[in-house]
Amino acid sequence: MIPINLPQIGEEEVEAVVEVLKSGKLTHGLGEGPRVKKFEKAFAKFAEAKHAVAVNTGTAALHSAVVGTGLNKDFEVILPSFTFVATAEAVILAGGKPVFVDIDPKTYNISSTEIEKAITKRTEAIMPVDLYGLPADMKCIREIADQNDLLIIEDAAQAHGAIYNRKPVGKMADATCWSFYASKNITTGEGGMVTTDSNQIAKKIRLFRTHGEKAKYASRMFGHNYRMSEIQAAIGCVQLGKLSGFLTKRRENVRRLMDLLQKTKRLELPIEPPDRRHSWYLFTVRLERATEQERNRVVRELREKGIGSTIYYSNPIHLMPYYRDVLGTSELPETEKASKQVFSLPVHPGVTEEQVTHIANSLLSIL
Ligand SMILES: Cc1ncc(COP(=O)(O)O)c(C=O)c1O
């Protein structure tokens, strides 16, 4: 099976981990070991941010960012439902209410016009997600946020290497959250990062990630153990150095796949607006005018041919039992339509030219 994603781990990562193991310093009590600091410094440079704070998952990054931006009691956060569940979880974990809005059917990202309709007196933040690795419509979202005195917490968990207006994705948010889960463009196994230009937000997240402590046993605020280990950070430093090569390979695979798939009219291929560069974490197509059953059949047949096609996300968050019980129903027609018609194809750096041809030909013959 050609998996939808595959960690690209080489000897360099193995050596970096062995070095940490031999050093005996596997982690640091306040989350500030030398490798974590090195990874944070390198990541801040990469993201062109003043601060980068490492944590142990992307979910922890999102939760820390919502807490770190200091939202008031009973706050609402506007976000898409067409995303991984962690985006909404972070709001609930921090004591807020997620308010789901619909997506733009072309980009699958949160719709700016729908955001404006969902703003209430309690809204304190917008959480755009750079879905599949395509930056959200940040200029528009920034304008809405500024006009309504809202913060932006961007979920860039899938967008390492994406560009918006010639700048690294995340530059227009107050805090940006990243994941280094094993499937992501770069990985530390599990891991996360928050980048921000705000001294205050960074300071609060640094406290929050380690029990609210600046010194041991003197908690200044409520916190967690969200510390990144030295092992994770050592892998992260190596992976970050390889990111640009990984992106080039993903882009090559995408170009080839796009060319081959032009032959059919049944698929809506992913777009890359002129002001944005995709990270190509996922290459997601839409089976036009299809029912959910038809889409599922195509995915099943691809898998029978050894192609790990996967659906992100077949059940949007607002339809999940817990979220429906707690938040009630939401009307999100474009989200629900997309969830029934999209599927993703492997384009990770391990996919060879022959495999790309096999993926495209298999899909064309199924269609
Ligand atoms: C959009 C999105 N947000 C948040 C997360 C959560 O990251 P993690 O799995 O590292 O906790 C992920 C990844 O899994 C994701 O894809």
What does the pLDDT look like over 70-118, one tens digit per residue?
887 889 999 999 999 999 999 999 999 999 999 999 999 999 999 999 9
Residues counted in the chain: 367
What CATH number belongs to 243-366? 3.90.1150.10
Please return the burial class of 117, using the count of CB atoms within 10 Å of its CB with bins 0-12, 13-18 and 19+.
exposed
pLDDT of 29 above 90 = no
Ligand 1 contact, 86 CB (< 6 A): yes
Mean residue pLDDT across the chain: 97
* pTM exceeding 0.85: yes
Higher-scoring residue by pLDDT: 214, 130: 130
What does the pLDDT look like over 42-70, one tens digit per residue?
999 999 999 999 999 999 999 999 999 98
> Residues 6 or more apart from 102 whose CB is under 8 A from it?
80, 111, 114, 332, 333, 334, 335
pLDDT of 181 above 90 = yes
- Round to whole Å and give the CA distance between 164 and 194: 18
> Residues 6 or more apart from 181 whose CB is under 8 A from it?
57, 58, 157, 187, 190, 191
pLDDT band at 211 (very low <50, low <70, confident <90, very high): very high
Question: Which of 59, 64, 193 to mutate to test ligand 1, by most ligand atoms within 8 A of the CB atom?
Answer: 59
Token digits of residue 24? 């005996």
What is the rounded (10 degree) CA torsion for 280, 282, 286, 287?
Answer: 120
DSSP letter for each residue of 242-271: HHHHHHHHHHHHHHHHHHHHTT-SSEEPP-
Token digits of residue 98? 């997620």
pLDDT of 312 above 90 = yes
> Residues 6 or more apart from 319 whose CB is under 8 A from it?
81, 336, 339
Q: How far is the CA of 58 from the centre of ligand 1 (A)?
A: 5
Coil, strand, or helix at residue 287? strand
pLDDT of 216 above 90 = no
* pLDDT given at position 79: 98
Indicate which residue's Cα is closest to atom 7 of ligand 1: 58
What average pLDDT does the segment 133-148 reach? 98
Span 11-239 CATH architecture: 3-Layer(aba) Sandwich (3.40)
Q: How far is the CA of 361 from the centre of ligand 1 (A)?
A: 31
Question: How is the chain split into domains, by residue range?
Answer: 11-239, 243-366
